[in-house]
Structure 1
Amino acid sequence: MSKRAAEDHEDGGVPLKGGERPEDAHLEDDEVGEFEDEFEDEYESEDEIIEAGVDGRPDAEREEEERAAMDVDQQTFIVGRHKLEPGQTLAPDPSTYEMLHALSTPWPCLSFDIIKDNLGNDRKTFPATMYAVAGTQADSKREKENQLMVMKFSGLSRMEREQDEEDSSDDEDEDADPILESKSIPLTSTTNRIRAYQLPASDSSRPPTTLTASMTEAGQVLIHDITPHLTSFDIPGTIITPQQNKPLSTLRMHKSEGYAVDWSPLVTTGKLVTGDNDGSIYVTTRTAGEGWTTDSRPFTGHTGSVEELQWSPSERNVFASASSDGTIKVWDVRSKSRTAALTVQVSNTDVNVMSWSRQTTHLLASGADDGVWAVWDLRQWKPNTSSSTPAKPTPVASFDFHKEQITSVEWHPTDDSIVAVAAGDNTLTLWDLAVELDDEESKDTGGVSGVPPQLLFVHYMEHVKECHWHPQIPGCVVGTGDTFNVFKTISV
């Protein structure tokens, strides 16, 4: 998984790969900031689903001409496949979104995670509120400005519709401005990957303990307790002490930096698996005394860097790893040999990301450097044999729609046919694997040539690196890139 280059513009350095870095908007630890919500009033931003059309002036005659010629002038614009003609500009279709917001942070974030809250499940009311944690990638000359950001997004209103204006009420909450509140934990290194985990609360009157594990560019794994920071958003006057900003533990077993980290969803006391660029994988467990112990013997076998790790959602001793050697391996922590039980060649390029379905646990999705993402049935994978050549099973589904590396893939938390995919072509796409069209039906869909019928939605977003579904707000997707985007579509 490649990092974005980060050099200071003022010093004449190279900007972020393919784009500009957001202006420094440093927030103090307790500062409340507003969203840079470029979608709220105007729909001419690049960070959204887009269509190509003739640029029109806002006079009534021109607007009438545009409406009359809409079936001619407007067409679906596919990033990386279509080019704008002279005089054409990109404009979004706001009617396809139920919610759409964007916000900037002091520095871009390579990774983030959504924090489950006590506001209820299956939330469909607006304005929405959510909590998240992220790690920054500061300029290489200003590494001491890196931070772990604990965030609260509130006032996330839904898109305004014509019928909304007709039925408009004086409900101030519905028209509330989006707000970003942030608590910062100082770091001295870029966060390559961050994941959060909540320990079950022993007392129902108290919030669960929320832990984060950060894989840093310095090769360390930092474990923080961010419970006080989350509490401070909703209890005025809460003070975060310097001691509460310090990590509970700093793990130094890795000899190189890494991007792979995951908490076990089935070990309620806290269990962590981490991997590095040397191909080593370590398992760390929280002890009864609230300390942390790491197995001295790593799991080895990959000939390239470990790019992604995920625990099985159904087997507490099993995890999977994806590597730049093009393979995915499945491991059992009880193995005395520390070798993989299954090894499958899923790509001829780096396998950057993967996602294990929580609903149908024999399904695994992978994303590779060649832009292909695929779905695999683990029941078809055979145990390793004495042969040194990895097995090459056939995927259940495979898509080469994206023309740049896949940077994130995640199954919908409650629907085993819906998948979100982010890629280096600046798009975040939503897919429905349940859609199956034969040749005759495909001719009648009116779709764009070369676009799979399973593709539900394309959201344009500069340098998108990671995406997650919100587990408590159905259909809500959050992505990180040059900015954070929070959106919910009409189609999901």
Structure 2
Amino acid sequence: MARTKKKAHGGKKSKATRNDVMQVGEASNAIQQPQQPTKVWQPGVDGMEDGEELQFDPTAYDCLHAFHLGWPCLSFDIMRDSQGVLRTDFPHSLFCVSGTQADQPANNAVAVVRLANITGQRRKPKTPSAMEEDESESESESESDEEEDESMGTEPNHVSQSKHPVLQVRFVAHQGCVNRVRAMMQQPHIVATWGDSGYVQVWDMAAHIRSMSGGIPDGPGLRTTVRQAPLQIFTGHKDEGFALDWSPITAGRLLSGDCRNAIHLWEPTTGGKWIVDKKPFQGHSASVEDLQWSPTEADVFASCSVDGTLRIWDTRHREQSAISIKAHDADINVISWNRLASCMIASGCDDGTFRIWDLRSLKEDAFVAHFKYHKGAITSIEWSPHEASTLSVTSADHQLTIWDLSLERDAEEEAEYQAFLKQQQAEAPADLPPQLLFVHQGQKDLKEVHWHPQIKDLLISTAADGFNILRPSNLENLPGA
């Protein structure tokens, strides 16, 4: 898969889709025309006439913010923190790390980012029963609510825009573009980067995290790039790469895969160093695109490749992979191992499709599900850390989608739900997958999405024109939300 590296052009206001009937998977932008019915507009399927405009509906989100770092970032990762294992109430704060795609090799950096005061709101689940119970209360309080919203400069039930997140950034010089960056789960200040120079480097970002933890906004002098020596550099790869993953079980254990088919294992030693096995795992016949450690077995990992195969490996047996299947007919760009249901793996392909696999019966054409919604290459896929059946996907068709595999079409329940809606919503096309829960648009050339492991239902995505932070409002309707 070709990964383009482009200069940033500034953020765009995100255009959203809304799913009021989650069983239907009605995820759409509405085209508003005078004296015309509201329509569901499908990206890559429907065109735009002169004068037509996609209308952004802020009520589709409990939270939506955007920021950029000057240069586009192909990859980023969320850094775990000590603010709470599971957080739900706004405002939120978080740390993440990303790597730039600058115009010149010397202009690149690894960026450690702190975002504070991420505002939003929680909503009551919009179910028929809840609407019946709240109808009289809502009517009696509507006037006072409207007055309060007007005082805040917003419309009723819309995400508050009266406060904005506080952005802090520390830039660490990195020679060459950053293809992928990952933070260690057990020690989030330890960060690995894959550079287009062909080197994998490990960094200690603890000092930068400490300097931002006081919550003081950055001044002009703090936005400069500092030079820092990495903890370790591995030059044994024969080409650049994108595959990189820290073990969730063994702290410090790292895998890196390159475009020359090789996978190297990093073993941590004392003193903050690693021993990298010079003899790689070999078996793929083309570029290794992604790697994922098993969430339950310390010596097991998965890989995917441009050769279309998905492989399962055991680090104790290096001669060949334990399992190899032809999983797609085109390049497999990304994989994700479900940490809540460890028998499930998702794979995303260059042809725009993604598949779900059950490791208990892993063989060719034995996938659990196959989805063909996207019109461009799948660039990122990740299971939710809080719901075993939910995953997010980004694509080169400029869409971020959220899927819930537990959803099925139920005509009776849909009709009941529509009867309680105060405003008539557009009908979803019949051919939309019922598992499609939400579609987010407005970012150009989406590259990567991650769920925050500690903030319920919060996602961050990166694209050529910057980052978005979002929480769809309909995720609260799901069981366990």
State if a TM-score over 0.5 links the two structures: yes
Please tell me whether the aligned partners of residues 382 and 391 of structure 2 are also in contact (alpha carbons under 8 angstroms): yes
Q: What residue is the counterpart of 2:386 in the other structure?
A: 414
Displacement of 1:313 in angstroms is 0.3
Mapped partners of 1:211, 1:303: distance in 2: 32
Question: What code does the residue aligned with 2:118 have?
Answer: L
**Superposition map of 1:53-452 within 5 A:** 53-54=31-32, 69=35, 72-139=36-103, 142-158=104-120, 166-167=147-148, 175-199=162-186, 210-235=189-214, 245-268=228-251, 270-337=252-319, 339-381=320-362, 391-437=363-409, 446-452=427-433
**SS of residue matched to 1:331:** strand
Displacement of 1:51 in angstroms is 2.2
Mapped partners of 1:54, 1:435: distance in 2: 29
Please tell me whether the aligned partners of residues 391 and 402 of structure 2 are also in contact (alpha carbons under 8 angstroms): yes
**Percent identity among equivalent residues?**
36
Q: What residue is the counterpart of 2:20 in the other structure?
A: none
Please tell me whether the aligned partners of residues 127 and 174 of structure 1 are also in contact (alpha carbons under 8 angstroms): no
**SS of residue matched to 2:360:** helix
Please tell me whether the aligned partners of residues 76 and 462 of structure 2 are also in contact (alpha carbons under 8 angstroms): yes
Displacement of 1:158 in angstroms is 1.4
Displacement of 1:95 in angstroms is 1.1
Mapped partners of 2:336, 2:185: distance in 1: 20
Displacement of 1:450 in angstroms is 2.3
**SS of residue matched to 2:301:** strand
Displacement of 1:253 in angstroms is 1.1
Distance 1:133 1:209, change over 3 A: closer
Question: What code does the residue aligned with 1:435 have?
Answer: L
Question: What code does the residue aligned with 1:149 have?
Answer: A
Please tell me whether the aligned partners of residues 110 and 137 of structure 1 are also in contact (alpha carbons under 8 angstroms): yes
Distance 1:73 1:242, change over 3 A: closer
Mapped partners of 2:310, 2:299: distance in 1: 17
What are the superposed Cα offsets for residues 227-250 of structure 1, whole Å, 9 maximum, x if unpaired?
111111124799999998220001
Mapped partners of 1:153, 1:260: distance in 2: 27
Displacement of 1:403 in angstroms is 1.1
- TM-score with structure 2 setting the length: 0.82
Please tell me whether the aligned partners of residues 202 and 230 of structure 2 are also in contact (alpha carbons under 8 angstroms): yes
Question: What code does the residue aligned with 1:396 have?
Answer: V
Mapped partners of 1:421, 1:241: distance in 2: 34
**RMSD (Å), alpha carbons:** 2.9
Higher mean C-alpha displacement, 155-164 vs 257-266 = 155-164
**Which runs of 5 or more residues in structure 1 are unaligned?**
7-15, 24-35, 39-44, 56-65, 200-207, 382-390
**2:473 corresponds to 1:486:** no
Please tell me whether the aligned partners of residues 282 and 294 of structure 1 are also in contact (alpha carbons under 8 angstroms): yes
What are the superposed Cα offsets for residues 353-382 of structure 1, whole Å, 9 maximum, x if unpaired?
01000001010000000111110001102x
Displacement of 1:104 in angstroms is 1.4
Distance 1:210 1:244, change over 3 A: farther
Mapped partners of 2:402, 2:370: distance in 1: 14
Displacement of 1:286 in angstroms is 1.3
Q: What residue is the counterpart of 1:51 in the other structure?
A: 29
Question: What code does the residue aligned with 1:197 have?
Answer: M
Please tell me whether the aligned partners of residues 31 and 40 of structure 2 are also in contact (alpha carbons under 8 angstroms): no
Please tell me whether the aligned partners of residues 51 and 74 of structure 1 are also in contact (alpha carbons under 8 angstroms): no
**Superposition map of 1:24-35 within 5 A:** none
Query: Larger relative CO (CA 8 A, sep 6+): 1 or 2?
Result: 2
Displacement of 1:289 in angstroms is 3.0
Question: What code does the residue aligned with 1:448 have?
Answer: P
Distance 1:327 1:439, change over 3 A: farther
What are the superposed Cα offsets for residues 337-364 of structure 1, whole Å, 9 maximum, x if unpaired?
2x10000111010000010000010100
Mapped partners of 2:298, 2:377: distance in 1: 31
**SS of residue matched to 1:491:** helix
Please tell me whether the aligned partners of residues 313 and 358 of structure 1 are also in contact (alpha carbons under 8 angstroms): yes
Mapped partners of 2:224, 2:397: distance in 1: 42
After TM superposition, which residue ranges in structure 1, 4 or more long, deviate above 3 angstroms?
A: 46-50, 159-175, 235-244, 438-446
Please tell me whether the aligned partners of residues 116 and 215 of structure 2 are also in contact (alpha carbons under 8 angstroms): no
